[in-house]
Amino acid sequence: MHVSEPVAPIITVSYGGEIDLKDFKEKNVTIGGDITLLSGSPLVINCPARGVPQPRVNWLKDNKPLPNVELRDTNCNGTFRIPSVEVSDSGEYLCYVNNYLGLDLAFTRVTVIGELEIYYKSK
C-alpha cells in the first residue's frame, strides 16, 4: 500500500498570451491568459490541479458564483464548459482549488465578440 504525504494544492497554469478562437470549433484551453472568441463558439477551460488529498475545484465569474449553472458543465477534474458562449459570458473566470493544507487560484479573462461588433470592426 502506497501512502502519500499531504501536499498543498497547486494549479498548472498556462500564461501563453492571448488566444484567439475565431471559428466555431471547440477548443480546450488551460486557465491563464486571455481568450477572445466569437459568440456561439463552444468554450472549454481546464483547471488542472494536484494535491494530496485531491483538492476540490471551484469556479467563479467576476468574483461571483457562476450564473445559469444549469447551462454550464463542470467536473471534478477542473474542466468548465460552455456549449455556446454569448456576449454576456465575457468576464474574468477564476478557478480556485483547496484542500485542508491550502488554496491556489488562477484566472482567465474571456472576451466574446458578438455579430454587431464583427460588422463594425470589418468597416
What are the grid coordinates assigned to 84, written together?
Answer: 455556446
How many domains are contained in the chain?
A: 1
Q: Are strands 7-11 and 49-52 parallel, antiparallel or unpaired?
A: antiparallel
Residue 21 inside a domain? The answer is yes
Q: Which domain holds residue 107?
A: 7-113
Sign of torsion over alpha carbons 59, 62, 68, 71? negative
Cross-sheet strand order for the sheet of 73-74:
27-30, 43-46, 79-82, 73-74
> So what's the pLDDT on residue 107?
93
Walk along the chain (123 residues) and give the pLDDT tens digit of each residue. 565 788 988 888 876 655 555 555 666 788 988 888 889 889 889 999 999 998 988 889 999 987 554 445 555 667 888 889 999 999 999 999 999 999 999 999 999 998 755 444 555
* 81: CATH: 2.60.40.10
Residue 118 inside a domain? The answer is no
> So what's the pLDDT on residue 67?
59
- One-letter amino acid at 39 equals S
Q: d(Cα 18, Cα 67) in Å, to the nearest integer?
A: 25
Residue 119 inside a domain? The answer is no
Residue 120 inside a domain? The answer is no
> So what's the pLDDT on residue 106?
95
Q: 58: Cβ–Cβ under 8 A, 6 or more apart, which residues?
A: 95, 96, 97, 98
